[in-house]
Amino acid sequence: MCKPSVFMVLGIATGCFWQVGEEEIEILRFLKQLGGIDAIELVFAFPQELFDFRQTREDTAFLRSKKYVSIHAPFHEVEYGKGAETKKMISTLDSLVLKIGAKHIVFHSDCIKDFSVFDNVNFVPLVENLDSKEGVKRIIMVRQVEDFLQGHKNFGFCLDIGDAMLEGINPKDFLQFRERLAEIHIHFPQGFEGKMKPHGSPSKADKKFLELAKPALSAGFPIIFEATDFFSFDKGAVEKELEIVKSLM
């Protein structure tokens, strides 16, 4: 049942539409057509996408009209360290958060080589639990999140429900970090038992995953929809999936 709460904030990530093959700004403009969206997460997979992002005054006004706006920092072909590229990324992110009124930026911890890059920034960096990837040391388990948050007091937490379920972890186990929890990502395992993939839509997901997602979805944190199984800008199809998520909140 849907509880009528002021905390019910449902939003969508631009990353949902990476398979459409359009530029970030075009994705953002498509999102303006969607009804019932209270939050936006701008996702920059590669550093160049971040550097190329040019918003108009209308785009900025659209973002500022939302209850919650966040950014997902580059996570492909990137290393946050002492180099010039990191400097440029951090300063670009720093000015972008001020422009669009974002507070949080999600990072993948395995891309960070030097945590001092976050010493004097205008935003709160968030670490996200992920699914496992061969050859990469990622933060997946509850215990790993705990260790990370203990070691990095300036970081908040982004709970990724889909990645937790894919790894066989009950998403509600992560709610013990609610003091540090800033936002929640929702997508669903897709495919068949034994070779499940992340980032599926709820209409195609196993019912057991819909049930498992409920406690975290209704915990009162901003929810960002992150399914990526869209191949065109189909307003009706996206709104249908968002309705299902809403019914679980």
Residues that bind Zn ion (CB under 5 A): 160, 185
Toward Zn ion, which CB reaches closer, 1 or 144?
144
Tell me whether residue 11 is exposed, middle or buried, using C-beta atoms within 10 angstroms of its C-beta: 0 to 12, 13 to 18, 19 or more.
Answer: buried
CB of 226 to Zn ion, least distance (A): 5
CB of 160 to Zn ion, least distance (A): 4
Q: How far apart are CA 126 and CA 106, in angstroms?
A: 5
Q: Which residue is nearest to Zn ion (CB)?
A: 185
Toward Zn ion, which CB reaches closer, 160 or 241?
160
Toward Zn ion, which CB reaches closer, 49 or 160?
160
Q: How far apart are CA 237 and CA 208, in angstroms?
A: 22
Toward Zn ion, which CB reaches closer, 93 or 127?
127
CB of 83 to Zn ion, least distance (A): 25
Which residue in 143, 154, 62, 158 sits closest to 108, CA to CA? 158
CB of 244 to Zn ion, least distance (A): 18
For residue 223, CA distances in Å to 48, 114, 122, 135, 158 come to 27, 29, 22, 30, 10
